[in-house]
């Protein structure tokens, strides 16, 4: 009886162990961003994605566990020759992601190694199509060309290249020194050009200032001359007006009898004064006795006035 009880206990214990083993081999917890590749009798059956999954025990097995996360792969430094025969050392970083776990498991033995080698060979090929200056200027073109080549080959590997970035391009030391001299010459050239432009602008400013100063001086001189001329003209007009008024007043006075007497007296006085002046400046004076008398002088003067008056009347009548 005890033997039967022991046998039954062993049976149930064994059965429980078998059930636990079966459950353990059939129930699978797939992590997030991970894929399990399942084989049945050595042949691909299905791909398990994240979550609680079941497989047939003993006949199904997890052959590969593939990460679906984005991978950052460091592409080692390599030498590449440009179109103008300059040897460069180039390295980069590659961002890769598995999109088909079945192809990445069966399409290539090691897709990471394959993609890295393909990136290196593609970079060498693309750099060989460019000159040294273009490799520095067109890094984006290189990156896009490498991504396109990797994606073309990666289609059979179940991978996709999201982007590729060149980290560093190092030319030989002699090329670096030549580039440094070239940049220094270019900076000196720009400095010389800027300095000459500054001097030219300064000379233009000075010339324009001098021109403006000369123009202003000429304008001031012209204004001064105009004002002087206007002043002289006003003075001449004033003097002429005064003389005209004086002559008009004298003429009006001379037209009367009292005016004639005043004119005769003034002429006689001036004639006597003139003869006195001649006598002062000359030791010998020859004069006609009859014509030197005051009456004669006055008569001659009156004759002149009468002749002038008659001439003026004739002019007015005409």
Reply yes or no on whether the pLDDT at 316 is more than 60: no
pLDDT of res. 98: 92
Nearest-10 Cα torsion for 172, 177, 183, 185: -150
The rounded distance, in Å, linking the Cα atoms of 218 and 226 is 12
Angle between helices 173-254 and 257-281 (to 10 degrees): 110
pLDDT of res. 140: 87
- Domain residue extents for the chain: 2-67, 71-171, 177-253, 255-317
Mean of per-residue pLDDT scores for the chain: 78
What are the tens digits of pLDDT across the range 120-134?
A: 888 888 888 888 888
pLDDT of res. 1: 54
Determine contact, residues 50/32, Cβ cutoff 8 Å: yes
Who has greater pLDDT, 285 or 148?
148
What is the C-alpha radius of gyration for the chain, rounded to an integer number of angstroms?
64
pLDDT of res. 50: 87
Residues of the chain with pLDDT > 90: what percent? 5
Nearest to 110, CA basis, from 69, 158, 149: 158
Give Cα separations from 271 to 190, 282, 299 (angstroms).
94, 17, 12
pLDDT (mean) for 285-299 = 51
29, burial (CB in 10 Å: exposed 0-12, middle 13-18, buried 19+): exposed
- Kindly report the CATH number that applies to the domain delimited by 71-171: 3.30.479.30
Q: What's the DSSP call for residue 71?
A: E
pTM: 0.51
Give the bridge partners for 93, in sequence order: 74, 165
Q: Which one of 1-5, 14-18, 60-64, 269-273 scores highest in mean pLDDT?
A: 60-64
Reply yes or no on whether the pLDDT at 285 is more than 50: no
Reply yes or no on whether the pLDDT at 6 is more than 80: no
pLDDT of res. 35: 92
DSSP letters spanning 162-206: EEEEEEEEE--HHHHHHHHHHHHHHHHHHHHHHHHHHHHHHHHHH
Backbone phi and psi for residue 283, each to the nearest 5 degrees, phi listed first: -85, -25
Reply yes or no on whether the pLDDT at 240 is more than 60: yes
What are the tens digits of pLDDT across the range 199-211?
A: 888 888 888 888 8
pLDDT of res. 13: 74
The rounded distance, in Å, linking the Cα atoms of 156 and 104 is 8
pLDDT (mean) for 244-262 = 70
pLDDT of res. 274: 66
Nearest to 63, CA basis, from 85, 49, 46, 75: 46
The rounded distance, in Å, linking the Cα atoms of 233 and 244 is 16
**Strands of 17-141, DSSP E:** 27-30, 34-40, 43-48, 51-54, 60-67, 71-81, 87-98
171, burial (CB in 10 Å: exposed 0-12, middle 13-18, buried 19+): middle
Reply yes or no on whether the pLDDT at 286 is more than 50: no
What are the tens digits of pLDDT across the range 68-126?
A: 999 999 888 888 888 888 888 888 899 999 999 988 888 888 888 988 988 888 888 88
């Amino acid at each position: 009886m005890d033997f039967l009880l022991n046998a039954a206990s062993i049976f149930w214990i064994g059965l429980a162990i078998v059930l636990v083993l079966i459950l353990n081999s059939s129930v699978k917890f797939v992590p997030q961003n991970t894929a399990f590749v399942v084989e049945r009798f050595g042949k691909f059956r299905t791909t398990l994605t994240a979550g609680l999954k079941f497989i047939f025990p003993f006949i199904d097995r997890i052959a590969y566990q593939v990460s679906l996360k984005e991978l950052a792969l460091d592409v080692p430094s390599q030498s590449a020759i440009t179109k103008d025969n300059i040897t460069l050392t180039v390295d980069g970083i590659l961002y890769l992601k598995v999109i088909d776990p079945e192809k990445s498991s069966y399409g290539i033995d090691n897709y990471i190694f394959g993609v890295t080698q393909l990136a290196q060979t593609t970079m060498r090929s693309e750099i060989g199509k460019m000159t040294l200056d273009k490799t520095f200027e067109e890094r984006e073109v290189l990156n896009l060309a490498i991504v396109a080549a990797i994606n073309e080959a990666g289609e059979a590997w179940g991978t996709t290249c999201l982007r590729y970035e060149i980290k560093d391009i190092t030319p030989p030391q002699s090329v670096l020194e030549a580039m440094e001299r070239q940049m220094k010459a270019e900076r000196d050239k720009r400095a010389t050009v800027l300095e000459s432009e500054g001097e030219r602008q300064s000379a233009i400013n000075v010339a324009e200032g001098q021109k403006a100063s000369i123009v202003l001086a000429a304008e001031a001189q012209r204004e001064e001359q105009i004002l002087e001329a206007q002043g002289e003209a006003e003075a001449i007009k004033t003097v002429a007006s005064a003389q005209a008024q004086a002559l008009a007043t004298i003429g009006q006075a001379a037209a009367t009898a009292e005016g004639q007497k005043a004119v005769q007296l003034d002429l006689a006085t001036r004639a006597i004064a003139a003869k006195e002046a001649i006598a002062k400046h000359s030791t010998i004076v020859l004069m006609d006795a009859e014509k030197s008398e005051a009456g004669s002088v006055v008569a001659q003067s009156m004759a002149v006035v009468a002749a002038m008056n008659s001439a003026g009347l004739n002019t007015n009548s005409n």
